[in-house]
Amino acid sequence: MEIRSLTRAEEEVMLILWQLEKGFVKDVLAEMPEPKPAYNTVSTIIRILEKKGFVGYTAYGKTHEYYPLISQAEYKRHEAQQLLENYFDNSLPQLVSFFMKDNQLNTKDLDEIIKLIQSKKPE
């Protein structure tokens, strides 16, 4: 199944569902920051997420308990790949260079990146 990018509102709901692991619309709504959207708004977003294949549910009569079908790690991987493909010609060095030029990476960050690379290198 192809993962599609989420809107900001959809991502906000998914972040809550990933945290809860499963829940009813009222549970998701309870975790949202003020000003809280209307119950029907959250319900609609969850149904859209269901159609997109992100959310499944267990029915209890007319009530549905929702749960993620895609892990947060899978979605992060997808979004990171989209960022690389769409803005950096699939080049990780270009991505790192961009953040270095923009002064968003300090020496400590670079040291951590180097340590990660060295820990993954085959001997």
Please, are residues 10 and 48 in contact by the beta-carbon 8 Å criterion? yes
What is the average pLDDT across 100-104? 74
Amino acid at 95: L
51 and 90 inside one domain:
no
Same domain, 22 and 62: yes
Please check whether residue 1 lies inside any domain of the structure. no
**Are residues 36 and 64 both part of a single domain?**
yes
Q: Is residue 22 part of a domain?
A: yes
Domain of 42, CATH number, reads 1.10.10.10
What is the domain extent for residue 109? 72-120
Half-sphere exposure of 75 (CA within 13 A, CB side): 19
Do 64 and 21 sit in the same domain of this protein? yes
Q: Which residue has the higher pLDDT, 1 or 7?
A: 7
Task: Return mean pLDDT, the chain.
Answer: 90
How many domains would you assign to the chain?
Answer: 2
Contacts of residue 105, defined as CB under 8 A and 6 or more positions apart, other chains included, come to 96, 99, 113
Is residue 86 in a domain? yes
Contact between 23 and 66 under an 8 Å Cβ cutoff? The reply is yes
Task: Assess whether 91 and 63 both reside in one domain.
Answer: no
Count CA atoms closer than 13 A to 99's CA, side-chain side: 13
Q: What is the pLDDT of residues 27-76, one digit of tens each?
A: 999 999 999 999 999 999 999 999 999 999 999 999 999 999 999 999 99
Nearest partner of 25 among 51, 54, 53, 47, judged by Cα: 47
Q: Is residue 15 part of a domain?
A: yes
Which of the listed residues 27, 47, 68 is the one where a domain comes to its end? Answer: 68
Same structural domain, 14 and 62: yes
Give the pLDDT confidence score for residue 101 in this predicted structure. Answer: 80
